[in-house]
Amino acid sequence: MPSAARRTALALAATLAGPAFWAARAAWGLPTALGASRREVRAYAAGSPQFSGGRFHNRLSTPALPPASAQRGLLRQMHEERHTGLPARPVPLGRPELPARADELAVTWFGHSSALLEVDGRRVLVDPVWGERVSPSPLVGPTRLHPVPLPLEELPQVDAVLVSHDHYDHLDLPTVRSLVRTQNAPFVVPLGLGAHLRGWGVPEERVIELDWNGAVEVAGLTLTCTEARHFSGRFLTRDTTLWASWVIAGPRRRVFFGGDTGYTPAFAAIGALLGPFDLTLLPIGAYNDAWQYVHMTPEEAVRAHGDLGGGLLVPVHWATFNLAFHRWAEPVQRVCAAAQRSEVRVAVPRPGERVDVLAPPPPTDWWSVVGSLADEPGERDDAGVGSSVVARAASWLTARRQAD
């Protein structure tokens, strides 16, 4: 019969085993997901005018963190309002209807910043993120609020994959590895980001890195890396890789993809030099006073659209991940109101819905029915994790029924 000391030791081991197992799972694959080291990136970055002192810089002064006086309030907000951005009901999905041949100008939005562009008969995939969680860990970090509308394996062959920067909600390791297997297109990325891709198994010949104002021709399209006002980093080290917006120009049609950015006067310069644009995809979500320099508000997105000489505005960077402290539906409500005041044409597709930019559908308000959990009667801003689980489970069931 075991001694009392041995029983105590066994009990202690059993108690610690659960947390230790969870911690091991949470850290599984962490070094790979974090990407390339500063040393690995530096060789590709050192010649850039944007690179000095071992890091990339915005052309405008851009504080990456709030002032010390605001940090306490931000930490309190993270604790008290972390569930504010949840949808109240399942997010409806569109059924992607992708033609056998790419059209003259169309966009299929898959949620957040992931979209498939059709420009002059070519296809360009931007910021593809098909993962369940935007985090280096499989167990910790923001999870999807709706399912992916289409399995990655069912995407048609694309001509290029564009990435705006290396944050987890724009550059996803599992998605990259899947695209290496299922696609043949090159990855066109800002400077330094190629080091991540090479470390994840992307062949050298499929990696094209550009600095701001650099351009490359792919399949008859001119892809130009343009300025953005943001930052980069996949862990504690920041700004070792460049961030960017992108211009996709064909013989007849032009598209601007903002990626993730704060408002900058550079938009007017881009519009004057490379515009006007038939379509702009601009970020409208994850804004907060503490991040005013690196994330646009919806009203600033409408202003940027005007600076760029945009035709149709399709808002992105919202709806899919809870990354800020505003209500789930607030970004699209505000961007539609601002667009109406400025007489800007807007299309807001459901995740998975395709928009023919030359004949866009009439505006349909589908987001008000979904609503924001924080606005529901009896719900508090700090509604429990269980509510988010229920909302996501309902979204998955709804998507399954739509697919059947």
Residue ranges per domain, the chain?
A: 105-403
Confidence of residue 79 (pLDDT cuts 50, 70, 90): very low
Residue 235 has what pLDDT? 84
Confidence of residue 6 (pLDDT cuts 50, 70, 90): low
d(CA 351, CA 353): 6
H helix or E strand, kind and range, residue 102: none
pTM of the model: 0.86
Mean pLDDT score, 304-320 = 98
d(CA 36, CA 123): 28
Total Cβ atoms within 10 A of residue 321: 25
Q: Give burial (CB, 10 Å; 0-12/13-18/19+) of 128.
A: buried
Write the pLDDT tens digit of every residue in 113-144: 999 999 999 999 999 999 999 988 877 889 99
Task: Evaluate whether 104 touches 253 at the Cβ level (below 8 Å).
Answer: yes
Confidence of residue 32 (pLDDT cuts 50, 70, 90): confident
Residue 273 has what pLDDT? 98
DSSP labels for 208-249? EEE-TT-EEEETTEEEEEE-------SSS--SSS---EEEEE
Pick 329 or 403 by higher pLDDT.
329
Residue 84 has what pLDDT? 86
Residue 64 has what pLDDT? 63
- Whether the per-residue pLDDT at 392 is higher than 80: the answer is no
Confidence of residue 23 (pLDDT cuts 50, 70, 90): very low
Mean pLDDT score, 363-386 = 74
**Amino acid present at 232:** S
Domain 105-403 indexed as CATH 3.60.15.10: yes
Residue 68 has what pLDDT? 47
3-state DSSP: the chain helix, strand, coil percent, rounded to 5? 35, 20, 50
Least confident of 28-32, 239-243, 274-278, 364-368: 28-32
